[in-house]
Amino acid sequence: MWKQDQMCDKEGIYSFKNGNEYRGHFCPSNLAMYGVFEGSGTFKIVEVCIYSGQFKSGMICGQGRVDFINSNKSFEGIWNPVSLESFEQMMRLQI
């Protein structure tokens, strides 16, 4: 949540134009108007999967789990830094 151009709530929801959604922690940043994804959160790729885990500097990074929406397929582990766009491309190849 923002008040007088200052971030006052470090948790929230960011909805992308394509329907994907991030829920979790935000960190103030001079490079991004609304801050960057940082700490724990979830990233839902519409009709594909939900990633629950760690984010760093707006990227998926660290311990996390992926659960595919239309199957029993899932996996978890430690992720090297990967952009949300690259992560989405990789996950779409898995379905």
Could you read off the pLDDT of 13-24 as tens digits, one per residue?
A: 889 999 999 999
Can you tell me the distance from the alpha carbon of 85 to that of 83, in angstroms, rounded to the nearest whole number?
5
**Which tokens is 35 given?**
């801050």
Count of CA atoms in the C-beta half-sphere (13 A) of 91: 28
Residues 35, 36, 39, 40, CA torsion sign: positive
Q: Does the pLDDT of residue 11 top 70, yes or no?
A: yes
Q: Does the pLDDT of residue 4 top 50, yes or no?
A: no
29-82 tens-digit pLDDT = 665 566 789 999 999 999 999 999 999 999 999 999 999 999 999 999 999 999
Can you tell me the distance from the alpha carbon of 88 to that of 49, in angstroms, rounded to the nearest whole number?
9
Q: Does the pLDDT of residue 25 top 50, yes or no?
A: yes
- pLDDT at residue number 30: 62
